Amino acid sequence: GQAVPASQKSSWAAFIKTIASFSGDLSSLTAPPFILSPISLTEFPAYWCERPELFSAIADAKDEEDRSLRVLRWFISTLKGQYTSRNESMGSEKKPLNPVLGELFFGYWPDKNGRGQTDLAVEQVSHHPPITAYYISNKSKGLALQGHSAQKTSFSSGSIIVKQIGHAVLTVKLPDGGEERFVITLPKLRIDGIWYGSPYIELTDTSYIQSSSGWLSTIEYKGRGYFSGKSHQFKASVSAPGASSATHVFEGLWHTTSKDSKTNVPFTDVTCPKEEVTVAPIDAQDEWESRRLWAAVARGIREGDFETASREKSKIENEQRQRRRDEQAAGTRWELRHFRHLDNDPVYEKLVKICKSITPSTEDTYEFLCNVPPVGNEK
């Protein structure tokens, strides 16, 4: 492969050796320049809503079964953005910027064709280990997704294995004044192509979407050579409350199309362009907003000026270390701005009792405080 520039071959080999013998937080390791991305992990929650019309369509479901199918369709349709978009925009998976504690990312997708405006708020709630909390809502449709994301990484036969920690809860307001909730768990990732310096993600294992109505989606992920010879395969079974067999089965490729296995009716199609989140211009952003905070580093990476990038990165990291020392000396702690940490998530616990396959049986959560100022002027 030609992915690793000749001048970085030895530093790439050294980096692979480090990750192979290392378990824990990969995000804090220093990697060779060619693999660096100018985008911070705090931007990643935006992938949940780059097809805003599929998100808003959840509100138009006619019953619980239909709602579960719409949630599944939206979920599957986010996977291409979540797991292949860096390959498309930058040629391979790249190492994202490691967010600082308190880093923020705000944005929205404007109202169009009656779908309502969707708003995104993200806060880095832990630096070590990295934990990102997010809240995505479409107020006019009564939809809100609250979640947090962390990773546990290990190395196995040349691949990085990433276990996703955390979960998301989707809350849907119903016309009768009630609410339906969905607990969404996240797939396991395998990062292949490391040796050649052109990493890409394959999804493995199983993830679940358990509704408070009792409907359950079980999504199995397979790569090349399993159900068929193709990458990015999935099979989703949707079962009625308490049922052991599936009412619906959908199969296909999560980065292109899928269909109903029995009827062949199309289910998902993400071959058309997605819609990127709108953010405020950098000058209008808060000092802690990701694109403003990392502007100089990102410019260095984009322009191939890695000396500047690494100098600017060190400035941010030193400033962070000083802050932590000052807090320790003053006996204070960094206060989260838009989320509150809770040791237990009652919604998660309740729904996990319905779906025994979901582990662990308890999780913590970050509750959104609904105190984010409006972004842009479309509100």
Nearest approach, Cβ of residue 348 and ligand 0T9 (Å): 18
Does 44 participate in binding ligand 0T9 (rule CB under 6 A)?
Answer: yes
Separation between Cα atoms, residue 41 and residue 131, nearest integer Å: 9
Looking at residues 86 to 105 of the shown chain, list those that interact with ligand 0T9 (rule: CB under 6 A): 93-96
Binding segment for ligand 0T9 (CB under 6 A), chosen from 23-31, 245-253, 293-301, 332-340, is 23-31
82, 84, 213, 258: residue in contact with ligand 0T9 (rule CB under 6 A): 82
The smaller minimum CB distance to ligand 0T9, of residues 215 and 348, is found at 348
Nearest one of 40, 98, 87, 274 to 191, comparing CA atoms:
87
Least Å distance, CB 120 to ligand 0T9, is 13
How far apart (Å, rounded) are the C-alpha atoms in residues 117 and 97? 28
Which residue, 117 or 149, is less far from ligand 0T9 as judged by CB? 149
Q: Kindly tell me which of 193 and 252 has the beta carbon lying closer to ligand 0T9.
A: 193
User: Least distance from C-beta 206 to ligand 0T9, angstroms?
Assistant: 16
Please, which residue, 149 or 210, has the CB nearer to ligand 0T9? 149
Contact residue for ligand 0T9 among 13, 20, 47, 206 (CB under 6 A): 47
- If one asks whether residue 277 binds ligand 0T9 (CB under 6 A), the answer comes out as no
Assign 3-state DSSP to the chain and report helix, strand, coil percentages, each to 5.
Answer: 30, 30, 35
> Quick one: which of 120, 134, 126 has its CA closest to 102?
126
* Residue 237 Ramachandran class (φ > 0 left, ψ -120 to 50 alpha, else beta): beta
**Minimum distance from residue 41 beta carbon to ligand 0T9 (Å):** 6
Residues 109-168 that bind ligand 0T9 (CB under 6 A): 149, 151, 160, 162, 164
Amino acid at 67: R
Q: Are 290 and 282 in contact (CB under 8 A)?
A: no
Residue 370: partners with Cβ closer than 8 Å, 6 or more residues away: none
Residue 79 within binding range of ligand 0T9, rule CB under 6 A = no
Q: Which stretch binds ligand 0T9 (CB under 6 A): 24-32, 280-288, 305-313, 333-341?
A: 24-32
Q: Which run of H or of E encompasses 292?
A: helix 290-293
b/e 289-314 (16+ beta carbons within 10 angstroms → b): bbbbbbeebbebbeeeeeeebbebbe
CB of 151 to ligand 0T9, least distance (A): 5
Cα separation, 178 vs 142, whole angstroms:
11
How many beta carbons lie within 10 A of that of residue 29, not counting itself? 13
Instruction: Select the residue interacting with ligand 0T9 from 52, 116, 199, 252 (CB under 6 A).
Output: 199
Closest CB to ligand 0T9 among residues 35, 372: 35
For the CB of residue 44, give the shortest distance to ligand 0T9 in the complex, in Å. 4
Contact 155, 369 (CB under 8 A): no
CB count in 10 Å sphere of residue 43: 23
Total residues binding ligand 0T9 (CB under 6 A):
19
Q: What are the beta bridge partners of residue 224?
A: none
Interface residues with ligand 0T9 (CB under 6 A) are: 26-27, 31, 35, 44, 47, 82-83, 93-96, 149, 151, 160, 162, 164, 191, 199
